[in-house]
Structure 1
């Protein structure tokens, strides 16, 4: 299915396996695409609120995605503008909101409907929780494509196969538009073997760009900064800049960037 609706690429950054660098990818893809001139909305759909924290944001009570999903606040009023990048933040209140979604058997279109007032973005990125629960289902209902970050190990490869099968069985759901190998080292044979296996099992889906192991990527969130602000000359910044160029091409964003 096409990733575009009304001219906006809407992508869920998703892996049900924790610790694979999902939020790192969501944060730095959002920042990198915004830095390239695209208008980006990053939506924190995880009650852990790691994307929110990674941008150094402090959210007053009742001003986050939980309030939006509960109908207490329009999405546009909850968004925080950081130049061409806007963030719809999360807080721990989102955990209670997720339970409410489950109890109410809310339609998977709820998040999409609540975001309809947020117009004018070239890209919307949803940072999902590390499980396929109600909040992830909301993100999938709002997205029109999925990026899957993963680490180069065989347990992650096994989980990837299950996730791809699950998403493929969800008729009408968004398709996987890219797989990102994170914490990659060309020197490690296991990493090269996993890279080859992913390319062989899912041809045309993995990004050519791999995100190398880089300490600056681990340090940046503690400073409330993306990698481009924290360490612009680092290997992490170079890798994410390359990944953003590749993602922009894959999502057909050419000609939309503004100075």
Structure 2
């Protein structure tokens, strides 16, 4: 039943367009799957460290993912446990690390190799930066599937088409899911974008829509995921439903009590 990071459920949460709720999805999927019984590792690969901050964590000097990628700290010693979830946190030091990765022409398998000794997880979620640089390539090199959060507007739809084309031209993992965030069924534009995504990328769009919800915006400022901050909110209900879909699509049904 136990799976290490070489298992199937390694998911890169990715969109090169900022402001689409990528970290919101990564944080709450990780927390929701962990709360459902899966053993989850959330890896913050973004120098902005929004996943880390959203969970109320801070990285001391010489710790976190930057130290791991720089070779100064084994990955297992950088892990932090919080409310049943395991996190490999980040800090702004990752920005310098990214430059070093580029200068050294580091192979995209480095992060996968560094995480190889961190066993016992059913699912690993990577929160990627909002660009396709060296850190994102490391996350893609460690992942086996990509989940793309997007907002329901036409600029995001154009960016999605470009992202899908770009990822399709690489040897990296395939996009296994698209989730619409900040969605309102009352808005015609949102419905039209949803229909367009479903038509252009059949079988990839998740049925669950993450509705516009104040609690989802408030939770990070309290250092909590939506399930700990507002368990009765629409945001918590939507992410619980999305967790069930993700568990089914990524083969986690036997590991998470969804």
TM beyond 0.5: yes
Q: Is the 8 A contact 1:8 1:121 kept in 2?
A: no
- What is the Cα deviation at residue 257 of structure 1? 3.2
**Runs (4+) off by over 3 Å:** 4-8
CA pair 255-66 structure 1, distance change in 2 beyond 3 A: same
Establish whether residue 43 from structure 1 lines up as the match of residue 43 from structure 2.
Answer: yes
Q: Is the 8 A contact 2:5 2:116 kept in 1?
A: no
- What is the Cα deviation at residue 74 of structure 1? 0.5
C-alpha separation in 1, matches of 2:122 and 2:257: 10
Determine the structure 2 residue equivalent to 1:219.
218
Determine the structure 2 residue equivalent to 1:75.
75
- What is the Cα deviation at residue 188 of structure 1? 0.1
Structure 1: segments with no counterpart, 5+ residues: none
Q: Is the 8 A contact 2:5 2:121 kept in 1?
A: no
- Where 1:183 maps in the other structure, the secondary structure is strand
- Where 1:208 maps in the other structure, the secondary structure is strand
Determine the structure 2 residue equivalent to 1:209.
208
C-alpha separation in 2, matches of 1:11 and 1:200: 24
C-alpha separation in 1, matches of 2:65 and 2:188: 42
C-alpha separation in 1, matches of 2:47 and 2:70: 14
- What is the Cα deviation at residue 58 of structure 1? 1.6
- Where 2:205 maps in the other structure, the secondary structure is coil
Determine the structure 1 residue equivalent to 2:183.
184
Determine the structure 2 residue equivalent to 1:16.
16
- TM value normalised by structure 1: 0.96
1:48-81: per-residue Cα shift (whole Å, max 9, x none)? 0000000000211111100000110001100001
What's the Cα RMSD here? 1.3
- TM value normalised by structure 2: 0.97
C-alpha separation in 2, matches of 1:120 and 1:55: 21
C-alpha separation in 2, matches of 1:77 and 1:150: 34
Determine the structure 2 residue equivalent to 1:135.
135
C-alpha separation in 2, matches of 1:70 and 1:43: 16
- What is the Cα deviation at residue 40 of structure 1? 0.3
- What is the Cα deviation at residue 162 of structure 1? 0.3
Q: Is the 8 A contact 2:5 2:115 kept in 1?
A: no
- What is the Cα deviation at residue 5 of structure 1? 6.9
C-alpha separation in 2, matches of 1:252 and 1:229: 25
